[in-house]
Structure formats: structure tokens, C-alpha cells
Amino acid sequence: RADRPRAADLLTDDSGHGSFTDSQYVLVHAAALVFCAVRLARRPEQLPDLPWALAVLALVSAATYLAGKATEGGGPVIHSVVRTREAGDLDAPIRTGDDIEIRGAGFLPAGAETPQALVRMAVRIGQVQVHVPLIPVPGGFT
């Protein structure tokens, strides 16, 4: 996420790249809003008539936007939870007090590419919230 909102956020995804779904939604609905504002300015005593074509276009635009958001990316997927151990230690079950390593994909939110965005990440396990110190290093994070 951005540190502060920008006008460009209306046309881009969380990583700052141009987004077709966001752009078409904003442009189609801005055009519909301008159309309605002009019609309302001409006859302020009456609600403007909205042509069916414009209503259908806005509906298709909203459906495209929602479909894009639904397929944008899944949540985190946990592949395994293992006990953290030193090289040469024997495998053993996880016990209370052991350090664990959660392996998987999708843990980082979109746009979390800077160290400042990564240090705000937290993991909630039941009622316990654990802050995860992720430090970017070549090839991944520590």
C-alpha cells in the first residue's frame, strides 16, 4: 500500500502498475457522471434520463472490475510448518516453546516492496499477533 493516497491510484494496482480493470471502471463511470451532470444542468428540475446503452456499459464495466478484483491474487497459502532446527539436529515434533518456520506463498501483500512496508507485516495465530521482521536480502527475505 502507498504511504499516502495519490490520484494515480485510481488507475493503477497496489504495486503502482497500470491496471485495465481500474482504468476502465474509472473512465466509464466518469463519463456517465459527466453525462448526468450535463443533463441535470440543462434541466435542474428533472432527474436526467439515462440511456440504456450507458447503463449497460456501466454495468459491464462494474462486472469487469469485480471479476478483475476476484482473480487478482489469492491469499496466503501455507505449504508446511516445521520446527526451526540447527544443521544436524534430529527431526522431532513441534513442542510448546519451539521456534517454528511457516513455509508457503503469498504472504507479502501486493505493493510491499520496500523495507518500510515489510516491517509492518504481522501474523495472527488465534488470539496471538506476531510481528514478523522481514529483511530483504538477495534471493528473498530473512
The answer to which of 8-17, 69-78, 90-99, 124-133 has the lowest mean pLDDT is: 124-133
18 & 64 share domain: yes
61 & 13 share domain: yes
55 & 21 share domain: yes
State the average pLDDT over residues 5-11: 84
Whether residue 135 is predicted with pLDDT greater than 60 in this model: the reply is no
Q: What pLDDT digit, counting tens, does each position of 90-121 carry?
A: 777 777 777 777 777 777 666 666 666 665 66
Residue at 2 is within a domain: no
81 & 119 share domain: no
96 & 82 share domain: yes
Residue at 127 is within a domain: yes
- pLDDT value, residue 16: 76
82 & 30 share domain: no
d(C-alpha 47, C-alpha 42), whole Å: 10
- pLDDT value, residue 116: 62
State the average pLDDT over residues 21-33: 94
Per the structure, how many domains does the chain have?
3
DSSP structure class, residue 11: T
97 & 117 share domain: no
Pairing of strands 136-137, 100-105: unpaired
- pLDDT value, residue 113: 63
DSSP structure class, residue 10: G
Task: Tell me the residue type at 18.
Answer: G
Share of the chain above pLDDT 90, in %: 30
Give the structural domain span for 131. 108-142
pLDDT class of 35 with cuts at 50, 70, 90: very high
Q: How does the average pLDDT of the chain come out, rounded?
A: 79
State the average pLDDT over residues 133-139: 58
61 & 18 share domain: yes
80 & 113 share domain: no
Residue at 1 is within a domain: no
- pLDDT value, residue 123: 65
Q: What pLDDT digit, counting tens, does each position of 68-85 carry?
A: 888 876 677 888 877 777
58 & 12 share domain: yes
Residue 55 host element (H or E): helix 52-70
Residue at 26 is within a domain: yes
Residue at 89 is within a domain: yes
Residue at 62 is within a domain: yes
CA-wise closest residue to 105 among 84, 136, 131, 74: 74
